[in-house]
Amino acid sequence: MQTTNSFKNFLLAFFCIFFINIPASGITLIETPVKLDAPWGMTWLDDNNILITQKSGEIFLINTEDYTQTQIKHDIPSVQYGQGGLLDIINDKNIIWVTCSVEKNGKYTTAIYQAELSGDTLINEKKIYEALPYIKSPYHFGSRLEIKEDYLYASIGERGEGMIAQDPTNSIGSIIRIHKNGNNPDDNPYINNPDWLPEIYQIGVRNPQGMTLDPLTKDIFISNHGPKGGDFIGPVLPGTNYGWKQIGWGGTNYSGTKVGDGNAWEPGFLKPDFIWVPSIGIGGIKFYQGKSFPEWQNSLLIGSLKYEYLSILHRKDNKFIEEEIIFKNEIGRVRDIEINNKGDVFLIADESDSSLYILKP
């Protein structure tokens, strides 16, 4: 276990917090003394304490008042392999869920584990879901989590296997919806269709690496990586299909060849709400609610991995209309976004020798 004395950490924070002013906007970006290496996901435990995962398998509890950093002991068998590792984390009343890549016989998949947090240890750990089949590819594990009522939504990447995302007999390249205990809900769209897995809620995604609940529509939104062009954000709606790999949302294969017939969209598939061509390497997303930045209320914060920026996607009449870059090339590849009860924005970057960053007015 790694833990630090609160008073020492207070002194460290006093001397080591770095303020990066963003002149055009009057916003301050703070680099805290928290030490992280390729962090991936965050979730609040309470108003002042946040859990952060690292791809290499660590979970840290961070006190955001004095920056005490405690490593959480656990036995979740995550494996860092290619784009996989210990990925997202979410919390509800001290019950923790994480997504991670796991290995079996030299192949890998995305799995979900549930546990309870007791002090500095996860207890009663159990696997409640694994995406089948296991695949050797090191690519496109996804994977984000979101809670809505009694349901747990999870994004599963298509592992670089393309048209497998159109095959409903597996959950590769889909959004699944299960109960918090791992059971399948009776009202899932394909629960009574023997040709579809009962947990499937939406199919046809490629590599969905962001997920957030819209406070206005109450829909869950995902961010999804296109290939060479075609990153998008859009809602998770029951029984819908985003079309990968029959369509590429305006992108092409990395070789420059067409995706499918070369169409950005075709009838029968769900249209994304906003598309980026070229790709921005879209990461975490979060709808903004808070008092720190009232002009952003109910708009969508976007993290870019490729171009290393944070932006706000403004909307009007529930339509996304304009993207505004907040900062660029300040912290590296913006991986995940959380917001505290004051409305301050907390950020992690998928970089080694990194930190926890805070955006304040």
Question: Torsion-angle region of residue 331: left (phi > 0), alpha (psi -120 to 50) or beta?
Answer: alpha
Q: What is the pLDDT of residue 131?
A: 97
What pLDDT score was predicted for residue 36?
98
Which CATH class, in words, describes the domain spanning 6-360? mainly beta
- State the pLDDT at residue 208: 97
SS3 296: helix
Helix (H, G, I), strand (E, B) or coil at 12: helix
Convert the pLDDT of each residue in 320-351 to its tens digit: 999 999 999 999 999 999 999 999 999 999 99
Q: What is the mean pLDDT of the chain?
A: 93
Residue ranges of the chain with pLDDT lower than 50?
A: 1-16
pLDDT at 13: 37
Query: How confident is the model over 73-97, as pLDDT tens digits?
Result: 999 999 999 999 999 999 999 999 9
CB 114 within 8 A of CB 126: yes
Q: Which of 142, 136, 71, 150 is nearest to 112 (CA)?
A: 142
**What is the C-alpha end-to-end distance of the chain, expressed in Å?**
35
Per the rule left: phi > 0, alpha: psi between -120 and 50, beta: everything else, 124 is left
Please state, as a whole number, how many other Cβ atoms lie within 10 Å of the Cβ of residue 269. Answer: 17
- pLDDT recorded at residue 26: 79
Q: Locate 132 and state its tokens.
A: 């089948």
